[in-house]
Amino acid sequence: MEKSKVLIIGGTGYLGKRLVKASLAEGHETYVLQREDMGVDIQKVQMLLSFKEEGAHLVLGSFNDHRSLVEAVRLVDVVICAISGVHIRSHQILLQLKLVDAINEAGNVKRFLPSEFGTDPAKMENAMEPGRVTFDDKMVVRKAIEDAGIPFTYVSANCFAGYFLGGLCQPGSVLPSMDHVVLLGDGNQKALLGDNNKKAIYVDEDDIAMYTIKTIDDPRTLNKTLYLRPPQNILSQREVVEVWEKLIGKQLRKSSISKEEFLATMKTQNYAEQVGLTHYYHVCYEGCLANFEIGDEGEEASQLYPEIHYTSVHEYMKRYL
């Protein structure tokens, strides 16, 4: 089967650059949207030029120019959007409504993968303020996609390993301590995350990109959600800490923070920080990533694509030694 042509929007971002590389590695004719108004952002310019050297096509386009989006979309079969949905950097999820309009007008796209790649927003209808804005906005985009009859795949990638494993699941930290860790819960052996030893799911960002590219031509995931749940990487915070302790050959000093203390501290932060901390709360104290079974509306990536040798938590954390 001929491989789809792919347009990646947000291709110079944290995940986007990995999606470009994975698409090229899998042999897809790959297009990357390039803004005309890049100014003197030399790092992004050089990244785009490196993509071009590797075989990608750069296509000018902007969310502020509807016609440019339509023309870009008409070049490809699949559109993947990886613009930021993180408030501490920039929250742009609803910009995708313009992309939905362009895809709808172009009429040629076989599949659209919007910017999701985290917690499944369809499972977060009871999320707390202010963090629920992320999930609500993603559901607005989903509704627009489905109302327009655009074929889709939603990717629920759970926790980006770099953000969670690097800091031993502690908000605000991306490098593991050699001395001390704060456990999100009461800190005893049986109740680490919240009160029930909740598990989270950690996925290497390069693996997220590869699973995403694998799915774009797969009829099994058409109009479904692809959940990334690599079995070895479904761990509690204590289990993550234990992996690190084995690697460094010593026990860390441990303290803990109850959910009441966590919420009280969260309310003292600015809005953007509160949004992110709300997500941590749902992941760590409620176990929102692994507390449901995948139904008929979804598929699990490691089962569909066993040929991908995903990076285990143990392997991932070796880089910090």
- Choosing from 138, 198, 199, 214, the catalytic residue is 138
User: DSSP string of 118-129?
Assistant: SS-GGG-TTPPT
Q: Is residue 138 flagged as an active site residue?
A: yes
Q: Are 111 and 153 in contact (CB under 8 A)?
A: yes
DSSP state of 318: G
Spatial separation of the C-alpha atoms in residues 223 and 197, rounded to whole Å = 33
Alpha-helical segments (H) within 66-186: 66-73, 96-106, 132-147, 161-164
Q: Which residues contact 43 (CB under 8 A, 6 or more apart)?
A: none
Distance of CA 39 to the CA centre of its chain: 27
Classify the phi-psi angles of 101: left when phi > 0, otherwise alpha if psi is within -120 to 50, otherwise beta: alpha
Residue 251, CA distances (Å) to 119, 199, 234 in order = 31, 21, 22
Spatial separation of the C-alpha atoms in residues 133 and 159, rounded to whole Å = 18
The one-letter code for the residue type at 278 is T
Q: Indicate the burial class of 226 (C-beta count within 10 angstroms; 0-12, 13-18, 19 or more).
A: buried
The one-letter code for the residue type at 229 is R
Spatial separation of the C-alpha atoms in residues 148 and 135, rounded to whole Å = 20
Handedness of CA 29, 33, 38, 43 (dihedral sign): negative
Active site (catalytic) residues: 138
